[in-house]
Amino acid sequence: MISALYLVSLLGGLACAALMDYRYGLFFWAAPRRAGLVLALGVAFFLAWDLGGIGSDIFYKGDSEFMIGVMLAPELPLEELFFLTFLCWMAMNIYLLMKRTIETRTQVAQ
């Protein structure tokens, strides 16, 4: 079980991102098609970034007993895909939440 701890943590983070999104109607619950496209493009960008770093001998997987050991490519563990998805989803949730907060405060101040 310890070998899946990182993946389980990432899945928990994704569940929390989904709950936050649902609760405040931020990303997928506001515009599902657009959100899916933005998320896919963000993950694709960071995967390309990772592959470029791996190809340049900058990024390495490292060795951890907390990862399950499934590799998508040399030096690219499965968990990286889930991490990038979490990163992009939370970035959009936080951006949209902050945008909404600033807009609300601007309207109240006027």
Q: Is the pLDDT of residue 1 over 80?
A: no
Domain boundaries, position 30 = 2-109
Residues 79/67, Cβ–Cβ less than 8 Å: yes
Of the candidate ranges 2-6, 32-36, 75-79, the one whose mean pLDDT is the lowest: 2-6
75 against 110, higher pLDDT: 75
**Into how many domains does the chain fold?**
1
DSSP-based three-state secondary structure for 109: helix
pTM > 0.75: yes or no: yes
* Dihedral class, residue 24 (left if φ above 0, else alpha if ψ from -120 to 50, else beta): alpha
Give the mean pLDDT of 47-76: 90
Give yes or no for a contact between 46 and 87, defined as CB atoms under 8 angstroms apart. yes
Instruction: Tell whether the torsion through CA atoms of 44, 45, 48 and 54 is positive or negative.
Output: negative
Q: Are 49 and 59 in contact (CB under 8 A)?
A: no
Q: Tell me 61's DSSP state.
A: -
Q: What's the pLDDT at 76? A: 93
